[in-house]
Amino acid sequence: MTPSLIAACVWMITANVAALMPSRHGHWPAAIALMTVGLPLLGWTVLQNGPWIGLLVLGCGASLLRWPLYYGLRRVLRPRQGGAAAPAFAAE
């Protein structure tokens, strides 16, 4: 087993432990930290093991962080409300 796969397994165990801990902030700080560490780890895994194993690790990570991923995609893909932004002050 390559070092990147070992690190990915440790990341997944850490994500599961973080999900089990009680949190006042809804686990968002842990999710942000996990995403920050997970993206370079995913690149390292693809570099060492190839794209198919990288897709497998991406799927596992997405299943662990499904709610932050859902809310992030919903925020990016939602239609803009009201078209162009209104000016901060209007000349009358």
Distance (Å, whole) CA 26 – CA 45: 29
Structural domains in the chain (count): 1
Asked if residue 83 belongs to a domain, the reply is no
Among 29, 9, 6, which residue's Cα sits nearest to residue 19?
Answer: 29
Whether 23 maps to a domain, the answer reads no
Tell me if 66 is assigned to some domain: yes
Q: Tell me what pLDDT residue 64 has.
A: 85
The residue ranges of the chain whose pLDDT is under 70 are 80-92
Domain that holds residue 53: 3-18+28-77
What's the whole-model pTM score?
Answer: 0.74
Residue 89 resides in a domain:
no
- CA 8 – CA 64 distance, rounded (Å): 12
Kindly state whether residue 9 falls inside one of the protein's structural domains: yes
Examine residue 39 and state whether it is found in any structural domain, yes or no: yes
The span from the CA of 49 to the CA of 53, in Å, is 6
